[in-house]
Chain A
Amino acid sequence: MIKLRDICRNFQVGDETVHALDQVTLDIAAGDYISVMGPSGSGKSTLLNMLGLLDMPNSGSYLFENKELTKLSEEKRARFRREKIGFIFQSFHLVPRLTAAGNLELPLMLTGMLPAKRRVLVQEALASVGLEDRAHHLPKQLSGGQQQRVAIARAMIMKPPLLLADEPTGNLDTHSGDEIIKTLEVLNQTGITLIVVTHDLELGQRAGRTIQMVDGKVVHDES
């Protein structure tokens, strides 16, 4: 599904060049459940941003379903993100002034979908994370776990084949964190490729494949 070849991402910090990703080469199959681990500054989040087309490499090749993505224009990358990639963030990233249903509608609105059709999909998505009775609640009226479940529902509402999660349990208590991971694992079992960046060793070991990064390099890749 995904082939990364010699991906490099450098940042200039003063006079120094930081190699956030250094010749990273990876093959990811459809339906994989991968955890990306490593110390702070090891390049895990940069790798996730690269996979999600939120950032672009300085060099290297990124093939997604045999399509080269590094050459895509800004507008086409936006469209690709909308259709193929779901994001889950540590801090949920819900729009505070929109209700749970409103937040779920956002990606659908971007496609120009009719409101009636959107409402049906939103109801289904909320029901899939057990929050159908919280549709009209603002994010501040929801618990952390509920907010992250809304974020998962939003990430999945376009039914993308790839789900990227950056520390999805980082802001949650153990119980809520467990629930979120179980929700993500259920999604993975339906065939969605799941890539989770985490510091949590226990969480990392639940994945079918663990990638260890240090100084922008993949130092360990174990299935």
Chain B
Amino acid sequence: MRSADYMRLAATSLKFNKMRSFLTALGITVGIAAVVLLTSLGGGVQQYMLGQFTQFGAHIIAVNPGKTSTIGLSGAIISNVRPLTLDDAASLEQLNGVLTAVPIVQGNLPVETGNRSRWTMVLGVNHQAPQTWQFKIAQGQFLPDEPAEQARNLSVIGHKIKTELFPDTNPLGKRIRIGQERYRVIGVMEEKGQILGIDLDDAVYIPAHRGMALFNRESLMEVDILYRAGWNEDKLVKAIKKHLIRRHGAEDFTINTQSDMLGTLGSILNILTAVVAGLGSISLVVGGVGIFTIMSIAVNERIREIGLLRALGASRTQVTLMFLLEATFLSGLGGIAGMLTGLGVAWLLHAFIPALPVNVEWNYVLLAEVIAIFTGIIAGLLPARRAAALPPVDALRSE
């Protein structure tokens, strides 16, 4: 028998019982729509999170003082290690493949001007921070390239600090007080927004050396290294390690690459998406049970027809395939409808709530469609085999 004829017979049968076919396929439709929608939302969250983490650039290696233990605490807190110094940062810049090395020290302090004051994040960095983190200057300039120890009391403020402390005036050239020291504002950063709840615009940048003095620290908190695109990250990590061990005499630091961080984050988010897809799959199982029930009923209702087909010379395989194809058609059509519904709802959600991250996970969509068809085959197999196994003479006599 030709494949087209199997399909034609299956289509005719489903068309003959339109409402029943519709309701049966609906079970699969809901299941697939749930998988597509939930994985799209999961994918959206994943994309959003990764976007947040990669907005600083993709070729950054962070060096922190202290060797991380299995619980991940920094040695800087325990302070039984040699500090990470400005000289360390400067020396790292000399390594092959390194473009910039930004020393970082950070704390929260009140920033004042005139009668206005605001507690904010104060970051001690060097002139290479904008290039390393892909920040842009909106007004003025960033910190100049000066020898660390001779760095002047200059500052660059974030967009929010400008709007909060200098709502009506140009901040360039104005003085602000950080802690007990006075700093001249030489630049304003372009608006950057938030990352995981941290407002990047609510910050003031000062020279790292001044920051260490301000926070009374001997050690930097981190050195961020920007390396050339295409450079072998693993080799650079080894070079950094070798370089710092030579300087410190021991491995009393921790190197974190962005790939490590994104890998870990990606794994977590993949699990999240898989869990969400798993929840959606429960509806698919329910849909499969629906198909099994309806196909069992269909076989019972059509026993005489099965007897006739056998009398006309249909083999058991042909009868099995006829019923199996009906079940597969039901699940396949339900799957396509579910896919379109899921995609449609995801699109509508994104259209009406643009802030809601939605990203269609096509691999899950295709997997769900395959599972839908597979569900149909499994659910249809038992009734189809039962139909084919009926003795023709008994089937013909059946009422």
A interface residues with partner B (beta carbon < 8 Å): 49, 52, 54-55, 74-75, 78-83, 87, 89, 93, 95-98, 102, 106-107, 109-112, 114-115, 154, 158
Contacts and interface: CB of A to CB of B under 8 A. Distances in A.
A89 B313 CA distance: 15
A158 B309 CA distance: 14
Contacts of A98: 12
A110 B314 contact: yes
B305 A89 contact: no
Interface of B: 1-2, 4-5, 9, 12-13, 15-16, 304-305, 307-318, 391-393, 396
Contacts of A111: 1
Contacts of A114: 2
B313 A107 contact: yes
A102 B310 CA distance: 17
Q: Which 9 pairs of residues, A with B, have the shortest CB-CB distance?
A: A82-B313, A97-B16, A54-B393, A81-B313, A78-B315, A109-B5, A55-B393, A93-B308, A54-B392
Contacts of A106: 309, 312
B312 A81 contact: yes
Contacts of A107: 312-313
A54 B310 contact: yes
A79 B313 contact: yes
B392 to A, nearest CB: 5
28 contacts: A54-B310, A54-B392, A54-B393, A54-B396, A55-B391, A55-B392, A75-B315, A75-B317, A78-B313, A78-B315, A79-B315, A82-B313, A83-B313, A93-B304, A93-B305, A93-B311, A93-B396, A96-B16, A106-B309, A106-B312, A107-B312, A109-B2, A109-B5, A110-B1, A110-B309, A110-B312, A110-B313, A154-B312
A62 B307 CA distance: 22
Chain B contact surface mostly: helix
Contact of A74 (B307, B309, B311, B316): B316
Given A93-B304, A97-B13, A110 B318 contact: yes
Given A79-B313, A81-B313, A83-B313, A95 B305 contact: yes
Contacts of A80: 313
Most A CB contacts (10 A, CB to CB) among B4, B15, B310, B312 go to B312
B312 A54 contact: no
A87 B304 CA distance: 14
A115 B309 CA distance: 19
A161 B193 CA distance: 87
A87 B312 CA distance: 8
A110 B5 CA distance: 9
A134 B309 CA distance: 22
Contacts of B304: 93
A95 B314 CA distance: 14
A2 to B, nearest CB: 18
Given A78-B313, A81-B313, A107-B312, 8 more contacts: A55-B393, A81-B311, A81-B312, A82-B313, A93-B308, A95-B305, A109-B5, A112-B1
B307 to A, nearest CB: 8
Contact of B393 (A49, A96, A102): A49
Contacts of A75: 315-317
Contacts of A96: 16
A25 to B, nearest CB: 22
Contacts of B5: 109
A89 B396 contact: yes
Contacts of B393: 49, 54-55
Contacts of B1: 109-112
A96 B13 CA distance: 10
A55 B310 CA distance: 11
Nearest to B8: A109
Contact of B310 (A78, A112, A158): A78
Which of B309, B316, B393 gathers most chain A CB within 10 Å? B393
Contacts of A109: 1-2, 5, 9
User: Which of A55, A75, A109 gathers most chain B CB within 10 Å?
Assistant: A109
Nearest to B391: A55
Contacts of B391: 55
Contacts of A115: 4
Contacts of B396: 54, 89, 93
A109 B396 CA distance: 20
